[in-house]
Amino acid sequence: MTSEMSETAVTGEVDGDTENPAAPGTAPAVLVVQHEEDAGPGLVGDRLVRAGLRLDVVRAWLGEPLPDDLGGHAGLLVLGGSVGCRDDESAPWLPRVRTLVREAVAGEVPLLGICLGGQLVADALGGSVVARTGGPELGAVPLRRLAAADEDPVLGGVPEGAPAAQWHWDEVGRLPAGAVPLLTGDDCPYQAFRVGRAGWGLQFHPEAGSGTVALWAEADDAQVRADGGDPAAVVASVREAEPELRTVWGAVSEAWGAVVRAHSGARTART
């Protein structure tokens, strides 16, 4: 996606999240792929740590290597970023991310892709990602539930019309074969989908609050205005929705964390 950011720091400090996203070494570990400095796990990471998980953050843009496989990791979290999902030349770690995504789905390792991360999930599994023809989707946008969401272990509790923070110029154009759409919107059809038994892709930013969106708006001010948007109004929409954003997407983060913990427990029992 040509102009997307995800979080202002690994720790999510702008939104008041945990200062050190780490749990004891014995805790189940989630591999977190971070694409750029201003793109951390924010509220999602905070809730995962509170749920007793450890975040192993790989700062890929600094050249930190991604592992050859998921190894001892109980989950995979792929964050957002300003690169496109096929910008392999400027982000040479992306082929490895796609490989890890495929490994997670094949091995039923819990997977969560956020915005660029969700697009990478779709792309890696045979779907497509396209530039939005009507300009970017920005700010707090209400989502609609689809029938399959009713029984979903992660998104089943999302209420109809729940707002989600949006900041994207690209979107999923076609889901991979067998993917299940869960949430949609009036202007973006694939807001959330499930792949396999334990993989989820999101087009929006559950990790972001108004402080983060204010920084995105400042960084992309000229482009937002060129596309007919009002950066101040975008930030205001997220600020107004922030209490509900934190409640709804905090619960979703905890639900995904519970899937990770269940997977870790089952794996331990097998060994």
- The CATH number assigned to the domain with range 13-270 reads 3.40.50.880
Q: Cβ distance 43 to 206 under 8 Å?
A: yes
263 given a catalytic annotation: no
Model confidence pLDDT, tens digit, residues 34-67:
998 877 899 999 999 999 999 999 999 999 999 9
Residue among 4, 7, 36, 207 flagged as catalytic: 207
Residue among 115, 137, 188, 263 flagged as catalytic: 115
Model confidence pLDDT, tens digit, residues 211-235:
989 988 999 999 999 999 999 999 9
Q: Label each residue of 124-161 as H, E or C.
A: HCCCEEEECCCCCEEEEEECEECHHHHHCCCCCCCCCC
Burial class, 3, CB count within 10 angstroms (exposed 0-12 / middle 13-18 / buried 19+): middle
Q: Cβ distance 129 to 219 under 8 Å?
A: no
Model confidence pLDDT, tens digit, residues 128-183:
999 999 999 999 999 999 999 999 999 999 999 999 999 999 999 999 999 999 99
Residue among 35, 73, 168, 205 flagged as catalytic: 205
Residues near 121 by Cβ (< 8 Å), separated by ≥ 6?
A: 78, 101, 111, 113, 195, 199, 200, 201
205 given a catalytic annotation: yes
25-to-56, 85, 251 alpha-carbon distances in Å: 10, 32, 24
What is the reported pTM? Answer: 0.91
207 given a catalytic annotation: yes
Both tokens assigned to 189 = 């059809």
